[in-house]
């Protein structure tokens, strides 16, 4: 694979072709609010309440409930409904998930991008997280389902895929495309997308907010330049899976990981 394969269109902003079936701007704006209100905007509101209603220092932030397998699977499946809703709205306006770059047209290049992005994001994110927990401005995240079950790792991997699809399809691909179609400037749309991503991570504390705002700018700009969601979904999956597997391997051995 050549370097040009990995940098295809990297220097050009993604400009969606005009779509004849788009509804009026007012309806399009209402559509965006409904998709976000049913998904990550609602999560951001809950995260803000969580941040304001409990202390940060010395507090753990579990990403999974302590419920059994059936509930874990429901928790994985139900957040994917907004992804299906976004796909439905795209199809209704004559577009598709391929319109936001979620397809398998470039498996080699997408996989290479995903590994590179996951390595960079994982390394920087780990430093920010560890520093924030040490400073007492972030809660200690527990990124795994209940341990000691046969389904702990399968559910962890399914949840990592769910988060990759939900966040990157809705916050990057769908939202940035729709804001572009609504006439927002690339910079304004990028800021809104990054702020939303940071907002629904507020339950972790201020470190989670800042780290995910930076991540939102980074991933969002990559999408704006390449128009590809697939490598972002794969990279997000790799980061979350590595975080969970790393936690299982290192808990009790590293001071900033809750036991």
48 CB-near residues (< 8 Å, 6+ apart): 199, 202
| Domain segments of the chain as ranges | 30-96+114-250
Decide: 179 and 186 in contact? Cβ < 8 Å: no
φ and ψ at 183, to 5 degrees? 90, 10
Closest to 180 in 3D by CA, of 237, 220, 231, 146: 220
pLDDT digits (tens, 9 = 90+) for 173-194: 999 999 999 999 999 999 999 9
Q: What is the pLDDT along the chain (259 residues), one digit of tens a residue?
A: 433 343 444 444 445 556 767 888 899 999 999 999 999 999 999 999 999 988 898 888 999 988 899 999 999 999 999 999 999 999 999 999 999 999 999 999 999 999 999 999 999 999 999 899 889 999 999 999 999 999 999 999 999 999 999 999 999 999 999 999 999 999 999 999 999 999 999 999 999 999 999 999 999 999 999 999 999 999 999 999 999 999 999 887 776 677 6
User: From CA 208, how far away is CA 199, in angstroms rounded?
Assistant: 9
User: From CA 54, how far away is CA 15, in angstroms rounded?
Assistant: 44
User: From CA 167, how far away is CA 163, in angstroms rounded?
Assistant: 6
User: From CA 204, how far away is CA 202, in angstroms rounded?
Assistant: 5
């Amino acid at each position: 694979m050549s370097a040009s394969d990995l940098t295809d269109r990297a220097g050009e902003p993604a400009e969606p072709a005009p779509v004849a079936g788009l509804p009026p701007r007012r309806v399009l704006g209402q559509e965006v609010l409904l998709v976000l209100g049913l998904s990550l905007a609602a999560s951001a509101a809950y995260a803000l309440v969580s941040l304001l209603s409990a202390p940060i220092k010395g507090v753990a932030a579990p990403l999974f409930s302590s419920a059994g397998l059936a509930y874990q699977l429901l928790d994985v499946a139900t957040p994917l409904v907004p992804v299906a809703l976004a796909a439905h709205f795209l199809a209704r306006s004559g577009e598709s998930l391929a319109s936001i770059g979620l397809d398998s047209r470039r498996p080699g290049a997408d996989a290479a991008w995903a590994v590179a992005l996951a390595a960079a994001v994982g390394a920087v994110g780990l430093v920010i997280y560890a520093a924030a927990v040490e400073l007492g401005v972030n809660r200690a995240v527990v990124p795994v389902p209940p341990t000691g079950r046969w389904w702990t790792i399968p559910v962890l991997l399914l949840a990592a895929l769910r988060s990759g699809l939900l966040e990157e399809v809705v916050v990057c691909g769908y939202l940035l495309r729709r804001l572009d179609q609504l006439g927002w400037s690339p910079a304004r749309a990028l800021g809104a997308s990054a702020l939303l991503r940071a907002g629904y991570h507020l339950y972790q504390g201020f470190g989670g907010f800042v780290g995910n705002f930076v991540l939102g700018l980074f991933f969002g700009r990559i999408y704006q330049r390449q128009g590809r969601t697939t490598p972002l979904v794969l990279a997000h999956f790799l980061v979350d899976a590595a975080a969970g597997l790393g936690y299982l391997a290192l808990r009790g051995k590293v001071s900033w990981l809750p036991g």
